[in-house]
Amino acid sequence: MGELIIAGGFILTSNPKRPLVKEGYVVIEDDVITNVAAEPRDLPSGADRLDARGCVITPGFINTHTHAAMTLLRNYANDVSLKDWLERYIWPVEACLKKEHVFVGAKLACIEGALCGVTTMHSMYIHEEAEIQAAIEAKVRMIASPGIFSWIRDSAIRESRQLVNQYHDSANGRIRISLAPHAPYTVDPETFYQIRDLSDQFRGKTKTPVFWHIHLAETKDEMDKVKDAAKRWKKQGIEVPSRALQSDGPIEYLDALGILVPEGEEKSDVMGAHVVHPTARELELIQKRDIRVSHNPVSNLKLASGIAPTIEYIRRGITVGLGTDGPTLTPMDLLRTAELAALLAKGVNLDPTLLPAGDAFAMLTRWGAKAVFWDGDIGMVKEGMKADLVVIDFKKPHLVPMFDPLAHLIYSARGTDVRDVIVDGEIIVRNRSFLPFSVEDTMEEVNRVISELITSIEDEKT
């Protein structure tokens, strides 16, 4: 690693105390930002130097909800309901996925994300160790979440425990693990209690928190899905407390089960993905329990799940970050997601002053960091923070002239304008080239494994 200077760009720091540094310098020593200044004194000699004149420098973008290896099924099924999408198309293929498939799919996601400025991914999937290996090779940050469903409870909980023991805070702290019950309707109460026990066992014993990652209130009928599932669970001898079943929504339901907060705590350690349809009582609950929200507007529109009440979240001080959801549905271009988040909030509320560019940028960066319990280390360009940075080339026809770099970033720039990316002090994308491993080979490998897999599935059907 050593020393690196990024010189001469507009720095959008995402630090509310000092949001913009014009023609500034960022000095990095090893994995940490040591100086952010307009004209720094004592620039280290012999440091690697990135000339950022005409560019905008930002913190790395944080994708708070994805399923990285789903690159393998990019646009495999479209224009269908979430239920059909999962049950008819996605789950049958996923049932045949092996570690080597997940590894190569996650490698592609890391490349795609990095080329769009995504330096941290929160990814829930199966064969999660393979995603971790991909993230380590790609030198990005990942919070890996082995998905837990009732029907694989024992193996999934075992896998979660083992991955926390082996990988949490590993790779110079770039890898973390979260516990990931898939959703309220795919995880029975017994499994939820076991996951809560597991996270309570880790509490205070790991350097950084092992929090929860769950799909929550994604569709309007989610509580009906829970009630349907409860009938099946009952046949298996698993009772759902009747008070919980009487809830109006899934967040209230989980609260009634008593699993939204660690033992003896007031505040939650849960990040909910989507949270499109909270009831009025659930909004109060999210605020009171400090449940973090990952907003996934592209996925929510594509699956017609609805539009999350982001303005209400922001007004109440609820932490909201941005997610792309699985790349089978949407690209990893988080800048596009940020723009859509802003436009949707304005459009549905008939008020163009809502969700200004500054809020969309906060969702991409510091609020995203907070949503995944990683604030303090990432999400700002600030002395003492980890050196995760993006250099975006603004010498482009669609970015000239520039009155307001922040508005340009959110409303005009695209992931393809990202020129250089630094994670943990190391340049992983330079001049739009991804450096850690071959992009060509990875794309070829993805095409090979997925065509083999689909052929074998089709053969089985006939």
Contact residues: Zn ion, CB under 5 A? 325
Which CB atom, from 159 or from 325, has the smaller least distance to Zn ion? 325
Q: Minimum distance between the CB of residue 133 and Zn ion, rounded to whole angstroms? A: 21
Which CB atom, from 300 or from 442, has the smaller least distance to Zn ion? 300
**Residue 180, SS3 per DSSP:** strand
Which CB atom, from 292 or from 408, has the smaller least distance to Zn ion? 292
Q: Minimum distance between the CB of residue 176 and Zn ion, rounded to whole angstroms? A: 18
Which CB atom, from 177 or from 183, has the smaller least distance to Zn ion? 183
CA distance 159 to 412: 42
C-alpha distances in Å from residue 34, one per residue of 30, 48, 49, 320: 9, 15, 15, 28
Q: Minimum distance between the CB of residue 330 and Zn ion, rounded to whole angstroms? A: 10
Look at residues 168, 131, 136 and name the one whose alpha carbon lies nearest to residue 147: 131
Q: Minimum distance between the CB of residue 454 and Zn ion, rounded to whole angstroms? A: 22
Which two structure tokens, joined as six digits, stand for 328? 């089978």
Q: Which single residue is written with the structure tokens 């943990």?
A: 424
Q: Minimum distance between the CB of residue 66 and Zn ion, rounded to whole angstroms? A: 7
Q: Minimum distance between the CB of residue 326 and Zn ion, rounded to whole angstroms? A: 6
- The answer to whether residues 435 and 115 touch, using CB atoms and an 8 Å cutoff, is no
Name the residue with the smallest CB distance to Zn ion: 325
Q: Which single residue is written with the structure tokens 């909910």?
A: 272
Which CB atom, from 56 or from 303, has the smaller least distance to Zn ion? 303
Which CB atom, from 240 or from 276, has the smaller least distance to Zn ion? 276
Q: Minimum distance between the CB of residue 296 and Zn ion, rounded to whole angstroms? A: 7
- The answer to whether residues 117 and 61 touch, using CB atoms and an 8 Å cutoff, is yes
Q: Minimum distance between the CB of residue 289 and Zn ion, rounded to whole angstroms? A: 21
**Residue 131, SS3 per DSSP:** helix
Look at residues 173, 191, 171, 170 and name the one whose alpha carbon lies nearest to residue 181: 191
With 0-12 / 13-18 / 19 or more C-beta atoms within 10 angstroms meaning exposed / middle / buried, residue 6 is buried
- The answer to whether residues 325 and 377 touch, using CB atoms and an 8 Å cutoff, is no
Which CB atom, from 66 or from 160, has the smaller least distance to Zn ion? 66
Q: Minimum distance between the CB of residue 94 and Zn ion, rounded to whole angstroms? A: 13
Look at residues 370, 439, 437 and name the one whose alpha carbon lies nearest to residue 139: 437
Which CB atom, from 13 or from 296, has the smaller least distance to Zn ion? 296
DSSP secondary structure letter of residue 418: E
Helix (H) or strand (E) holding 279: none
For 434, list phi and psi in degrees, rounded to 5: -80, 125
Q: Which single residue is written with the structure tokens 């702290």?
A: 173
Radius of gyration of the chain (CA): 22
Look at residues 204, 152, 202, 149 and name the one whose alpha carbon lies nearest to residue 177: 202
Half-sphere exposure of 250 (CA within 13 A, CB side): 31
Which two structure tokens, joined as six digits, stand for 433? 């080239």
Which CB atom, from 6 or from 126, has the smaller least distance to Zn ion? 126
Q: Minimum distance between the CB of residue 124 and Zn ion, rounded to whole angstroms? A: 7
Q: Which residues pair with 10 in a beta bridge?
A: 56
Which CB atom, from 273 or from 387, has the smaller least distance to Zn ion? 273
Q: Minimum distance between the CB of residue 401 and Zn ion, rounded to whole angstroms? A: 39
CA distance 344 to 36: 34
Which CB atom, from 325 or from 426, has the smaller least distance to Zn ion? 325
Look at residues 277, 266, 176, 270 and name the one whose alpha carbon lies nearest to residue 226: 277
